[in-house]
Amino acid sequence: MTARRLIRTAVPVLAVLVAIGCRSGPSDGWSSRARTMVLTSGPSEIVMSSSKVPGYWARPVDGEDRFFLYTRDRSYETGSRIAVEGPFGPASGSEFHDETGEYVRMSRRPVFVLVVWKIGRAENAPRP
């Protein structure tokens, strides 16, 4: 394995581990950083730095931004209102299109990827 390939594979894994290590807020309840979102897809995945990343596509209840929620939890459906906590930032990669069975490079505009620390139905989350 070449050094460049090793770095490309290790970067997403290290980013997730760092994000998890920086966890803040109470682990048994919702913090003030919880966001209420609506899922715009069922379970999906994207590819970042040659690594498959499972999750869901979502948008904030009060916004139009597009988020990819990085989580292995597969218990939610399209249209579910959920509350999530975790760090996020812009990223680019490829998304899987069910219709064609191929990965297609995401638009030139980066997408926000949120690493989910905590997820739950919105009715169980605090009101902003």
Query: Which residue in 67, 72, 94, 62 sits closest to 20, CA to CA?
Result: 72
Structure tokens at 35: 């966001």
For residue 118, pLDDT beyond 50: yes
pLDDT band at 48 (very low <50, low <70, confident <90, very high): confident
Mean pLDDT of the chain: 78
With beta carbons less than 8 A apart as the criterion, state whether 88 and 113 touch: yes
pLDDT band at 17 (very low <50, low <70, confident <90, very high): very low
Using a cut of 0.75, tell me whether the model's pTM lies above it.
Answer: no
Q: Which pLDDT value is given to residue 82?
A: 95
Dihedral of the alpha carbons of 9, 48, 115, 3, in degrees to the nearest 10: 20
C-alpha distance from residue 96 to each of 44, 53, 114, 117 (Å): 7, 10, 18, 23
For residue 127, pLDDT beyond 60: no
Q: Domain 3-124 classified CATH 1.10.10?
A: no
For residue 8, pLDDT beyond 70: no
* DSSP per position, 19-78: HHHT--S-SSS--TT-EEEEE-SSSEEEEETTEEEEEEEEEETT----EEEE-------T
